[in-house]
Chain A
């Protein structure tokens, strides 16, 4: 039965994973992810799953790959520096097309950076997973409830498309507490016959030879098979543009001005929009929920005859999301940006000011 509980973001998303049938977690502590690892250290065994505190993020992501190849719903969670260490494993997981879930609870800055929330891993996660140019489904929820709902579905999608799923929250969302509706427990499917799962061979099933590079296929040479198989991967990615794009439009019906933002920034923008509306400003929000696939068509369809100005909002300096959005917008629309970096929050009153400047 679903139930209403008050939980910290990190704990809520981990609980949703358990309820989604996740039975393996490996992770390495890093602020602001630590409470997720702590929660699962007792909750995962309680649910009959496996918890491993890995020796590093390099190990954690590869443990997740190993568990996925045992047919288990497996996940890890990390933040900036840990994500960097995971890129090798992410590349391998994308190459092997292993259904797995990775939560990136973003912190700010390069190198050690700072431990406060940020959105500066946008490029790193959406452009390619490690080397090789492969990708996965990437979600950027704005609230704990939305994180929970996405997490609850994530393995269904991961298994449907044979892909990693990355959920991008941030230090703000990870630490705050909110009331959430927790979904019911669901059972993971039997994956033992899947071609990416080893062991538990039944009857005379042929061996599974699982490799991160798809060298085998209908072509004569390794290179031709790699090219051919990667082109099949690409078709999967392209199908996401048609079938998996998610976004929210908030108060856009009569809007003359638009804010475009994702995750925590979008949530703060909503407060600003409510204030601006009280002052008679016709402003709305366009919020991508999927970062891969990115809502390209929807952005391109924003009508220059209707929208007088757009403000992008993000917690990243230098800009990332802003630049991405600019690729798709009509060039005749005036676009301004507001961003905060270094772990600073975007503020609703500053957003209001930026919108007012455009009026």
Chain B
């Protein structure tokens, strides 16, 4: 028998430290696979900011560097401007990218920095134990919105992909999801397209990936795909927004 699918060589020989059913793992797996397909596994550099992404560098064979919470847009700008030939992914959580780092995210997008942002939208602050994020759904219970997110107090979820797509500079803006095999394959295609744009023509790309955080959603991982399909994707529809 022939092996037709196995772990990417761009993944390290250690299991990730993510919780069972956490789709950070799926996203990192896809990045690894795409890097192999594009032959950039030795060149790609990843920014691993604070959040569950912080130990990312241990799970991949790429070079990686850290960034303070929310600052990848700035750290990445400094790096890429000085190293324009090195493909770069900013791997960010939704809190990182859309709350504390909103200014850095927006300005990097508006400048059209030549890198790819991969944003993991799990609607909570995963690493700190499930507090409300700017992406938390209306009525969603978190440890800091025990009665459910109130629109009066906290506003509506920030739809970052839509915001970024409103800028002129970005070349490719998309929202995908990781909850079904079909969506995972579409997400992979999107990551590949984003990196191809970065490498071949240059320009900013943003790939938002709808993900589950079963631990902080307090949900059996097996139940997360249906919840995402029925509830989450209603607020955050998947599809290309630009490019």
Contact = CB atoms under 8 A, between A and B. Distances in A.
B221 interface: no
A151 to B, nearest CB: 19
Nearest to B110: A55
Nearest to B77: A63
B68 A88 contact: yes
Interface string B7-46: 0000000000000000000000000000000000011010
A62 B104 contact: yes
B61 A69 contact: no
A294 to B, nearest CB: 28
Nearest to A192: B83
A50 B65 contact: no
Nearest to B69: A88
B82 A70 contact: yes
A74 B82 contact: yes
Interface stretch (A6-14, A199-207, A249-257, A330-338): A199-207
Contact of B74 (A59, A70, A207): A59
Interface in A46-63: 50, 52, 54-56, 58-60, 62-63
A70 B88 CA distance: 11
Interface residues of A, number: 38
B43 A199 contact: yes
B131 interface: no
Interface string B67-86: 11001011111111111001
B104 A70 contact: no
A207 B82 contact: no
B104 A210 contact: no
Interface string A76-93: 000000000000110010
B148 interface: no
B81 A50 contact: yes
B56 to A, nearest CB: 9
Interface in A18-72: 23-24, 26, 50, 52, 54-56, 58-60, 62-72
Interface string A291-314: 000000000000000000000000
B79 to A, nearest CB: 4
A209 B62 CA distance: 8
B103 interface: yes
A69 B62 contact: no
B82 A58 contact: no
Nearest to A199: B86
Contacts of B81: 24, 50, 52, 63, 67
Interface string B40-68: 00110100000000100110111111111
A211 B79 CA distance: 15
Contacts of B242: none
B83 A58 contact: no
Contacts of B68: 62, 88-89, 92, 212
A209 B58 contact: yes
Contacts of A56: 103
Q: Which size bracket describes the interface of B in this complex? A: 20 to 34
Contacts of B78: 24, 26, 52, 62-70, 74
Contact of A201 (B58, B63, B65): B63
Nearest to A211: B66
A67 B74 contact: no
A229 to B, nearest CB: 15
Contacts of A69: 65, 75, 78-79
A96 to B, nearest CB: 7
A226 interface: no
A265 B206 CA distance: 51
A356 interface: no
B104 to A, nearest CB: 5
Given A66-B82, A69-B79, A201-B63, A59 B57 contact: no
A200 B86 contact: yes
Nearest to A59: B74
Contacts of B42: 201
Contact of A199 (B71, B77, B83): B83
22 contacts: A24-B81, A26-B74, A52-B78, A58-B71, A62-B68, A62-B75, A63-B77, A66-B74, A67-B78, A67-B82, A70-B79, A70-B80, A70-B82, A89-B71, A92-B66, A92-B67, A198-B64, A201-B43, A210-B57, A211-B54, A211-B57, A211-B66
Pairs of residues from A and B, 6 with the lowest C-beta to C-beta distance, nearest first: A66-B78, A63-B78, A62-B74, A66-B79, A199-B86, A70-B82
Interface of A: 23-24, 26, 50, 52, 54-56, 58-60, 62-72, 74, 88-89, 92, 96, 198-201, 207-213
Interface of B: 42-43, 45, 54, 57-58, 60-68, 71, 73-83, 86, 88, 103-104, 107
Given A50-B82, A59-B103, A62-B74, 11 more contacts: A26-B77, A59-B73, A62-B67, A66-B82, A70-B79, A89-B68, A198-B79, A207-B57, A208-B64, A209-B63, A210-B64
